[in-house]
Structure 1
Amino acid sequence: MAGITLLLIAGLLVAAFVGYNIGGSSTGVAFGPAVGSQIVGKPLAAGLFTLFALWGGWTVGRHVIETMSEGIVPASQFTLAVSIVVLFFAGGALLISNFFGVPSSTSMTAVGAIAGLGLATDTLNEQIMFGIVSAWIVAPLIALWSGVLIGRYIYPYLDARVTFTRFEGGLYYFDRSGSIPRPRLNQNATFRDLLGAVVVLAVSCYNAFSAGASNAANAIAPLVGSGSITASQGILLAIAAIGIGGFTIARRTLDTIGEGITDLPILAALIVSLVGATIITILSNLGVPASLAVSMTSCIIGLGWGRSSRTVTIPEAAEAAIEGEGGPDLNVGALATGREADSGITPGPTIGEVASGEAEARQPPSETSQEHVPPIGEPGRNEVEEAPELFDRSATGRVVFLWLLTPTLSTIGSYLVFSIFL
């Protein structure tokens, strides 16, 4: 009995460790733009992230927990010791990714560890596993082409009309002149600023909801499968650990607003978050564990390609492909410099500029002004091609390589461990 109790304590601690690291990384990704724009402070961002992650985990996340605790392999395979080993692989992936400075997919790694268990015990549900792997292939493609279409047909018009402002002292403050402090809007804020802040905050909360729906299972599904804890108890444990990570180690991420997105314009970051969170929320509702980071990265690439592809029409691109001629170099850096290249309009600030206060003030467009967005196929390719790239290609290659490597190592390692000891 004492041995089982110690194993249970160890399992809960490992689960809490996984959740803690998830909260540390996900909070910065979800609320980076909101904190950088000083719409909310870091403590409030962590609180909101925890609240919406709990909502996502408690509702949609249950479907993912069910898949990972009894769908990929029968629940009977999850003894307490086995659950700890599976969680160890998920935590190990986080450790490796943090060492290399690359965000890994905890969902993919956890599924890989469970799949290794199923292969070792010949209990893998191949149909469910095939569906999960298929979703891992299709979801990034949907994100990519969503980005392409938005970047080609919608993004330039939004970029010409939407502005984001950073207010010294914050968007609001508390008036303490009376007996009860009352929140007051910054006197320099306009209705447009307030509307933009609401959009940024809403997308951040939606991202947190999606993160909770997809990530809660990663921390506690094996323990739920073993019967050591119930799904509700597991969700509370996972979100509590995620929340602690959000209030502690996430502060550093929020300070830097995430190294991977500091060069991304705020508008692009919001679009990427919205597309990625929607895809993952839908998959989570279907019980499919998937990676938010992979979908968001695919959408970033699609946005850049779609934006720079506006220099040619579809018939021109098709003709070039048929004749074997070289088409335009689709430069993903076009996101950050689109307006400047096409019409001389000052580009909007990036997340890094807004967070550091280096973004220059840009007057919002008036009701009567119409900023020029060149039609598709209009010349201007040289300026777009010469724009600095949105991300480093070699670094991106390393990220994708590690995304593939960590679940592969998790599956192989899990298979070897369980083949030897079970």
Structure 2
Amino acid sequence: MVSALVVIGLLVAAFVGYNIGGSSTGVAFGPAVGSRIVGKVTAAALFTVFAFWGGWTVGRNVIDTMSDGIVPASQFTPAASVGVLFFAGAALLLSNLYGVPASTSMTAVGAIVGLGLATDTLRESLMFTIVSAWIVAPLAAFLVGVVVGRYLYPYLDARIAFTRIEDSLVQFDRSGAVPRPRLNENASPRDVVGAVLVVVIACYMGFSAGASNAANAVAPLVGNGAVTIEQGVLLAVATIGLGGFTIARRTLATVGDGITDLPILAALVVSIVGATIITVLSQLGIPASLAVSTTCCIIGLGWGRASRAVTLAEVAATAADTEAATDLGQELTTGALAGPEAEQTTPEGPTVGTLASGESAQQVEQAAEEPPEVPPIGEEKLDELTAESLFDPAATSRIVILWVLSPTLSAVGSYLLFLLVL
């Protein structure tokens, strides 16, 4: 007979998965929905399918780590499992209420660490590896962003134009007895390639999210034997998908329509980098945050783009002058991705927000023109590269604070619960 605690554990796991779906769907499919390539329902369906694929394959390694690696599986009694999942779910709910994509893996690991500290069963060597990955992964994403932004992004931006399709890309011919799908007659080959690229990368993000996040919802239940790994993945993905079809609509609207300073091209670059890093770590069985890696890549991409205003020799010479170095550091902001307000040599691609609101009519004409010449490094104007700020400082501070606060609160609350109550 199934005990009441196991039933409660299943319900709390479903709650955690539901919140994961609400957070991760918007991160993965925000650009695709914002550019009207797919609708919110289609985005949720595609995200669910690819999250299941990621959880069923690579995600097994992360489940193994979190169910019998950080602490022994024997520590996940029904009561302990409910406690761990409760703190993970509460921290995620807090992040969703504030509209911030949560660091799901860090929050769930924090709750397990609290259990390990309270029972003196924490495996420090593995935790050292995990924490090291939490430091290295964002730094790697930042450095890749810097290199791409400084040396590749301007050339990609000059040759890749994402135009807005007024109607949906795929339409149905209803002239016959059976509706037949067909491409929008007004869509150019460039439009089709760009749209397919956006959707493919969004699906890749969904795969990566499933690989890293399925364990966060069900690892304690797998550890105590309440469910098998296969059953755990099915439960996790089912509830993640439910969150994608319901509360993720708000996240999709925020990411798709509200992020007006992040061009589609930049969104695709950071999606590829972030998803690749997390997929590799998941293959190694290390739980890590997709949101943290992608955000660090955005910062690096913008900084690298802005750094094209100066050569490495000029940077080295300026470094000797403390006051000049400070001024230069303040000017080299991530606003380089936002595009200048003044007339510019290299036109920036449309942003997610402008694509959603239909304010990029001139992009079709720009796409047909010859790609503009990209100025060499050191010859671009700094005021054009940093015309606007990519991040709202207040919003960025809130995101960083919640990323640190969520796993910390989860670990402290879990530790106190298991030390004093259970």
Specify if TM > 0.5: yes
Equivalent residue number for residue 417 of structure 1: 417
By how many angstroms is 1:253 displaced?
2.4
Q: What is the number of residues matched between the two proteins?
A: 418
Equivalent residue number for residue 379 of structure 2: 378
Cα distance between partner residues in 2 of 1:281 and 1:260: 27
Change (3 A) 1:159 1:112: same
2:149 to 142, 148, 151: 151
Change (3 A) 1:370 1:340: farther
Encode CA deviations 1:36-56: one digit per residue, 9 max, x unaligned: 222222221111110000000
Q: Which moved more, 1:131-140 or 1:356-365?
A: 356-365
Equivalent residue number for residue 97 of structure 2: 99
Equivalent residue number for residue 267 of structure 2: 269
Which SS does the other structure have where 1:257 is aligned?
helix
Cα distance between partner residues in 1 of 2:258 and 2:39: 21
Equivalent residue number for residue 76 of structure 1: 74
Cα distance between partner residues in 2 of 1:126 and 1:34: 41
What amino acid is the match of 1:34?
A
Cα distance between partner residues in 2 of 1:55 and 1:124: 31
Equivalent residue number for residue 66 of structure 1: 64
Cα distance between partner residues in 1 of 2:47 and 2:371: 37
Whether 1:363 and 2:361 are equivalent positions in the alignment is no
Encode CA deviations 1:321-356: one digit per residue, 9 max, x unaligned: 13435242212111111696641x543211011112
Equivalent residue number for residue 331 of structure 1: 333
What amino acid is the match of 1:409?
L
Whether 1:22 and 2:20 are equivalent positions in the alignment is yes
Cα distance between partner residues in 1 of 2:320 and 2:12: 56
Asked if 2 retains the 8 angstrom alpha-carbon contact of 1:257 and 1:355, the reply is no
1:310 to 308, 311, 315: 308
Asked if 2 retains the 8 angstrom alpha-carbon contact of 1:156 and 1:338, the reply is no
Cα distance between partner residues in 1 of 2:190 and 2:98: 41
Change (3 A) 1:222 1:244: same
Cα distance between partner residues in 1 of 2:45 and 2:230: 20
By how many angstroms is 1:379 displaced?
4.6
Q: Gapped runs of 5+ residues in structure 1?
A: none
By how many angstroms is 1:368 displaced?
7.8
Cα distance between partner residues in 2 of 1:180 and 1:357: 32
By how many angstroms is 1:250 displaced?
1.5
Cα distance between partner residues in 2 of 1:79 and 1:317: 57
1:208 to 206, 209, 222: 206
By how many angstroms is 1:259 displaced?
7.1
Equivalent residue number for residue 389 of structure 1: 389
Equivalent residue number for residue 238 of structure 2: 240
By how many angstroms is 1:168 displaced?
2.2
Whether 1:184 and 2:186 are equivalent positions in the alignment is no
Equivalent residue number for residue 41 of structure 2: 43
Cα distance between partner residues in 1 of 2:306 and 2:256: 25
Cα distance between partner residues in 2 of 1:410 and 1:217: 16
Equivalent residue number for residue 402 of structure 2: 402
What amino acid is the match of 2:353?
G
By how many angstroms is 1:125 displaced?
0.6
Change (3 A) 1:58 1:341: farther
What amino acid is the match of 2:63?
I
Encode CA deviations 1:352-396: one digit per residue, 9 max, x unaligned: 1111223333136578824021100015123334x1100012321
By how many angstroms is 1:67 displaced?
0.3
Cα distance between partner residues in 2 of 1:283 and 1:259: 31
Cα distance between partner residues in 1 of 2:134 and 2:11: 29
Asked if 2 retains the 8 angstrom alpha-carbon contact of 1:39 and 1:197, the reply is yes
Cα distance between partner residues in 2 of 1:209 and 1:364: 35
Cα distance between partner residues in 2 of 1:195 and 1:11: 45
2:133 to 132, 135, 149: 135
By how many angstroms is 1:213 displaced?
0.3
Cα distance between partner residues in 1 of 2:258 and 2:165: 24
Equivalent residue number for residue 353 of structure 1: 354
Asked if 1 retains the 8 angstrom alpha-carbon contact of 2:257 and 2:357, the reply is no
Asked if 2 retains the 8 angstrom alpha-carbon contact of 1:262 and 1:350, the reply is yes
Asked if 1 retains the 8 angstrom alpha-carbon contact of 2:32 and 2:256, the reply is no
By how many angstroms is 1:317 displaced?
0.4
Change (3 A) 1:339 1:147: farther
User: TM (normalized to structure 1)?
Assistant: 0.95
Asked if 2 retains the 8 angstrom alpha-carbon contact of 1:277 and 1:292, the reply is yes
Equivalent residue number for residue 229 of structure 1: 227
Cα distance between partner residues in 2 of 1:172 and 1:236: 31
Cα distance between partner residues in 2 of 1:354 and 1:186: 17
What amino acid is the match of 1:335?
L
By how many angstroms is 1:58 displaced?
0.2
Cα distance between partner residues in 2 of 1:259 and 1:88: 32
What amino acid is the match of 2:74?
S
Cα distance between partner residues in 2 of 1:358 and 1:184: 26
1:56 to 54, 79, 103: 54
By how many angstroms is 1:293 displaced?
0.6
